[in-house]
Structures are given as structure tokens and as C-alpha cells.
């Protein structure tokens, strides 16, 4: 059985998807881009974008009764891997050991012209 998870503290989905879906003790957080809860892109570079994204992920997880410490896997999409260090510095402030498994990939473009998108999987068990 799957159940949608939603938070008013994160931007609404901009397409036919849920902010997150819970199934089988896992919460799958859809890719988050640096929009605030009102749906406005945050100003700044990769560091500021990553900070907003992780706030969004945390808000969605909180709506499911979880936190960033429950995240077991993330995927980071970036339009420019030369900015990896800036993203990674902010990311490291939000995840403590044992850190989630992670993949980081460069993509040609992301929605709304942003530089970073992050999806996450958290475990209830």
C-alpha cells in the first residue's frame, strides 16, 4: 500500500507527482529544486540552492514523522559538477555519520533553470 506525503512547508509539486510517497517502510522524496514553500526560486548559487533543497526535503520528511537522519540514499543532480565542492559543503552540514549512500550526476538541464536537484529515500525501520 502506498501513501502520499505532503508538507505545506515545501513547494507544491509542479507536475503530476507527489512530494513523497511512503511504501513498505520507506519514504521516497521526489526530486526537490530550490523553491521556497511559495514556489519561488531562491536567489544565489549552488550553496544557497542546496540549502533550500535540503530544507524542503527535511520539511517533507517531517510531515512523514521522519528527519534527515532517517535518509538512507540520495541522488544529486547538478548542471555543473565543477560546483560539486559548494554543494558538498552544504550537504555535509545536514547529514551526519553514517551518511546516506549517494550518487551525484551531471545533467544538461533541470526544471526552472536551477543548478541542483536532490531526491531522497528515508527508512522508517
CA angle 45, 72, 13 (to 5 degrees): 55
- Is the Cβ–Cβ distance between 42 and 34 less than 8 Å? yes
pLDDT in tens, 74-122: 999 999 999 999 999 999 999 999 999 999 999 999 999 999 999 999 9
Give CA–CA dist 3/24, Å, rounded: 10
> Which phi-psi region, left, alpha or beta, contains residue 25 (left: φ > 0; alpha: ψ -120 to 50)?
left
As assigned by CATH, the class of the 2-123 domain is alpha beta
Span 21-61, pLDDT tens digits: 999 999 999 999 999 999 999 999 999 999 999 999 999 99
* Greater model confidence, 14 or 11: 11
Contact 108, 79 (CB under 8 A): yes
Domain extents in the chain: 2-123
User: 64 near 57, Cβ under 8 Å?
Assistant: no
Q: How confident is the model at residue 14, as a pLDDT?
A: 84
Amino acid at each position: 500500500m502506498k501513501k502520499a506525503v505532503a508538507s505545506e512547508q515545501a513547494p507544491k509539486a509542479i507536475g503530476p507527482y507527489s512530494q513523497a510517497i511512503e511504501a513498505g517502510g520507506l519514504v521516497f522524496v521526489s526530486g526537490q529544486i530550490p523553491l521556497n514553500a511559495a514556489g519561488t526560486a531562491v536567489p544565489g548559487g549552488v550553496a544557497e540552492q542546496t540549502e533550500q533543497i535540503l530544507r524542503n526535503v527535511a520539511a517533507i520528511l517531517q510531515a512523514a514523522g521522519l528527519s534527515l537522519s532517517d535518509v538512507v540514499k540520495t541522488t544529486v543532480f547538478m548542471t555543473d559538477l565543477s560546483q560539486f565542492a559548494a554543494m558538498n559543503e552544504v550537504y555535509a552540514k545536514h547529514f551526519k555519520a553514517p551518511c546516506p549512500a549517494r550518487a551525484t550526476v551531471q545533467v544538461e538541464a533541470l526544471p526552472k533553470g536551477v543548478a541542483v536537484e536532490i531526491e531522497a529515500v528515508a527508512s522508517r525501520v
